[in-house]
Structure 1
Amino acid sequence: MRIAIEDLAVSLSGRTVVHGIDVIAEDGEIVGLVGPNGSGKSTVLRTVYRHLAPDAGRVLVGGTDIRTLTPAQSAQRVAALPQERGSDFELSVREVVAMGRTPYKRAFAGEDGTDTELVAAALERVGMAGAGRRRFSALSGGERQRVLLARALAQDPRVLVLDEPTNHLDVRHQVELLALLREQRRTTLIALHDLNAAASVCDRLHVLHDGALVASGAPREVLTADLLAEVFGVRVAVVEHPLTGDPLIAFDHRSPAGGLPGAVAAAR
């Protein structure tokens, strides 16, 4: 399902956080948002899963303004893994994942065979199949992350919205999560701090800086040394990954440097 964010503007506490944002994710694409802390990545994503209402612009899901849908209709189309994640669920792992089926249920309706299959499949896909009876509150941060991803998958949405989904995951589970996203080819909007992960998993990237979109395109086109120096204030070399051929960003940890004047302006 196609997602189109059109001329989006959002203010929080009277301050404009993002403005003039245009992002498109075609059916089956993985589209990434990257940028420094405070650049507006999470704010943009929150408008897609209706946690925030924009001041201007709109979010179209399959051609329909998401604000015109009921909460259940919206949740059947879009599932989110936000950064603000509950950690105090006094529920079992399986019960948490089964919450993803709520948009399809009438009040007081019980679980049916489809629900059971989707919950089991989601737990299997995130490597938590044997953990269904464990208490969610007793899990590690990485385990909770995987369970909440399973809940989003059990929701069986057309669109996934993921805000820093690799946080708290060890290297193996980061790699497995990115492989899962590539495998399923569900339309996905994802915010990532890890630029190498973004280069590996995303079909297209949008770079945000101070609430504005400063570059868009394929990872190889967007992740240039000049733009990264300007936006992130670091010196890098962009080379080819020896195993995958993706862009690989090598950071100079000894001599971090500011950007090159004019790089962002040229990319607008």
Structure 2
Amino acid sequence: MRIDIEDLRVAYAGRTVVAGAHLVAAEGEITGLVGPNGSGKSTLLRTVYRHLRPAAGRVLLAGTDIRELSSARSARHVAALPQERGTDFELTVREVVAMGRTPYKRAFAGEDATDRDVVARALADVGMDGQAGRRFTALSGGERQRVLLARAFAQGPDVLVLDEPTNHLDIRHQVELLALLRGRHRTALVSLHDLNAAASVCDRLHVLHAGTVIASGPPREVLTPPLLAEVFGVRAAVVDHPLTGDPLIAFDHRTPAQPKQEVPSWR
């Protein structure tokens, strides 16, 4: 399913956090949101999975305003891995992942064979199938991250909304998670701090700055040295990755850039 975000505005306590954002997450593609801290990435994602109601604009799921769908129907189509993740579940790993089947169950209905198969497959996908009986609270941060991703997979969604999904993961599990996203061929809207990961995994990027989308396009077209200097305040060269051919950003860790006062539009 395709996501269209049209003229979205979100405000907290009278302060505009997202200002008139327009962007598309095409069906079957991984669409990345990148930008400095405080640029509005998480706020925008929260409107997509209905945690926040926008002050103006709308989020369309396959042409339908997502606010017109029931909570259960929305949850069957869109699964989220937010940054504010509960860590106090007094449940086993398997029980947490099984929560992803809730949108498909009637009140007080028990598990069936389909539920059990879906949960087992989701745990295997994130490499946690051998940990199903452990308490969620006993897991490391990276393990919890993978369990919550498995819960999102268990929903069987058409769209995945992932806010910094590689947080707390070691490098091996970061690579495995990003490869897993590529292999699922589902529509995904993902915020990432790691620009090289974004350049590698995303089909299209949207750059946010001060709540506004200032650039959109394929990573190679968007992540240019001038934009990196203006938006992120870093000096960098963009070269071809020697193993994959993807854009690879080589940062100058010794000398920060001096961004101008006005951030231009890079569309």
TM class, shorter-length = over 0.9
Provide the residue aligned with 1:83 in structure 2: 83
TM-score by length of 2: 0.98
Q: How does 1:1-268 map to 2 (within 5 A)?
A: 1-259=1-259, 264-268=263-267
Percent sequence identity over aligned pairs: 75
Pick which of 19-28 and 117-126 moved more: 19-28
The secondary structure found in structure 1 opposite 2:253 is coil
- Is the Cα–Cα contact under 8 Å of residues 23 and 206 in structure 2 kept in the other structure? yes
**C-alpha deviation, 1:155, in angstroms:** 0.5
Distance 1:260 1:218 in 2: 25
Check whether the contact 1:228–1:259 (CA below 8 A) recurs between aligned residues: no
Which 5+ residue runs of structure 2 have no aligned equivalent? none
Question: What secondary structure does 1:149 align onto?
Answer: helix
Q: Distance in 2 between matches of 1:261 and 1:102?
A: 49
The alignment covers a number of residue pairs equal to 267
Would you identify which runs of 4 or more consecutive aligned residues in structure 1 move more than 3 Å? none
Q: How high is the TM-score relative to the length of structure 1?
A: 0.98
Name the SS of the counterpart of 2:234 in structure 1.
Answer: coil
**Structure 1, unaligned runs of 5 or more:** none
The DSSP-based 3-state class of the residue aligned with 2:52 is coil
Secondary structure of the 1:36 match is coil
Q: Distance in 1 between matches of 2:33 and 2:146?
A: 21
Asked whether the 8 Å contact 2:93–2:136 carries over to 1, the reply is yes
Q: Is the contact made by 1:9 and 1:18 (CA closer than 8 Å) also made in structure 2?
A: yes
Equivalent residues of 1:226, 1:259 under 8 A apart:
no
Aligned-partner residue type, residue 193 of structure 2:
H
- Three-state SS of the structure 1 residue aligned to 2:160 is strand
| 1:108-146 deviation digits (Å, cap 9, x = unpaired) | 000011100100000000000100000000000000000
Q: CA deviation at 1:259?
A: 2.7
